């Protein structure tokens, strides 16, 4: 609708069926964007799409594994065929990977974590860029993590993938900037939700502590503000980076972490 920050624009949000991806998709739609949500399980994708439509928006649910290039190409083609354009790509799809010391981490788990979190973002960008260049408002927003800016014992595959996303962000910004596309990353800190709860549970099991102790000691007390980040705060950052207000911001990583480990 006219007056909204993202009116008449089209976005893809990978991992958009649940958690942070769902909240980002709803946030973009609330500002007028038509949103294609992708993921590997259809029911949560259809639920997110239905919620967007129920609120007066336009949405499309697409099943795709971002680590599969054929599936990624099909996802982008289907989005453009349905909405006739593509302006915004949010690379949010990701997995937590194993919680274990490197010496105890199977190579297959390392490879799968990087395949989804990092190669997936590369493949989505690769196939979206021609359409984003054709838009006057081309945006790529990579959801990395505070884990991509610090050392993270027991989570090396995840941290490596998120460090890699920041390098990908900066490199892509240089490549597509001359063609009018901005590329930025958002690095959430400890964000409330099911994924963090699972990470806390697994870390507690490895360390022999309670989940409450791990959340307090490692995730809350380590932040300057002494609190978790809310998913809606990450979504607000994504809306900003997708909007015209951020048209001269590129190659940057916006950290939204409540001051984690300052």
Which active-site residues does the annotation give?
158
Q: Is 151 exposed, middle or buried (0-12, 13-18, 19+ CB in 10 A)?
A: exposed
Backbone φ and ψ of 2, nearest 5°: -55, 140
Backbone φ and ψ of 72, nearest 5°: -65, -45
Q: Which residues pair with 139 in a beta bridge?
A: 88, 182
Question: Which is nearest to 135 in space by CA: 236, 12, 2, 51?
Answer: 12
Count of CB atoms situated within 10 Å of the CB of 76: 24
Cβ atoms of 42 and 18 within 8 Å: the answer is: no
Q: Is the dihedral of CA 105, 106, 109, 115 positive or negative?
A: positive
Cα atoms in the 13 Å half-sphere on the side-chain side of 242: 36
Cβ atoms of 98 and 113 within 8 Å: the answer is: yes
Residue 243 in tokens: 């909007």
């Amino acid at each position: 609708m006219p007056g909204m920050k993202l009116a008449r624009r089209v976005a893809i949000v990978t991992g958009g069926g649940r958690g942070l991806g769902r909240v980002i998709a709803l946030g973009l739609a609330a500002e007028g964007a038509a949103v294609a949500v992708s993921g590997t399980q259809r029911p949560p994708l259809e639920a997110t799409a239905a919620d967007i439509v129920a609120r007066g928006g336009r949405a499309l649910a697409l099943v795709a594994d971002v680590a599969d290039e054929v599936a990624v190409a099909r996802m982008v083609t289907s989005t453009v065929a349905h909405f006739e354009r593509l302006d915004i790509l949010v690379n949010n799809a990701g997995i937590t990977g194993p919680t274990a010391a490197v010496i105890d981490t199977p190579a297959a788990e390392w490879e799968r974590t990087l395949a989804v979190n990092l190669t997936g973002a590369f493949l989505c960008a690769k196939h979206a860029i021609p359409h984003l260049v054709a838009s006057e408002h081309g945006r790529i927003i990579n959801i990395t993590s505070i884990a991509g800016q610090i050392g993270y014992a027991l989570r090396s595959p995840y941290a490596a993938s998120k460090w890699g996303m920041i390098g990908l962000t900066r490199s892509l910004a240089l490549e597509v900037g001359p063609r009018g596309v901005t590329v930025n990353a958002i690095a959430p800190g400890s964000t409330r939700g099911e994924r963090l709860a699972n990470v806390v549970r697994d870390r507690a099991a490895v360390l022999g502590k309670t989940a409450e102790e791990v959340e307090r000691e490692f995730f809350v007390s380590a932040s300057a503000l002494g609190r978790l980040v809310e998913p809606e705060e990450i979504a607000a950052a994504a809306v900003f980076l997708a909007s015209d207000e951020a048209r001269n911001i590129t190659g940057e990583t916006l950290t939204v972490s409540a001051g984690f480990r300052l």
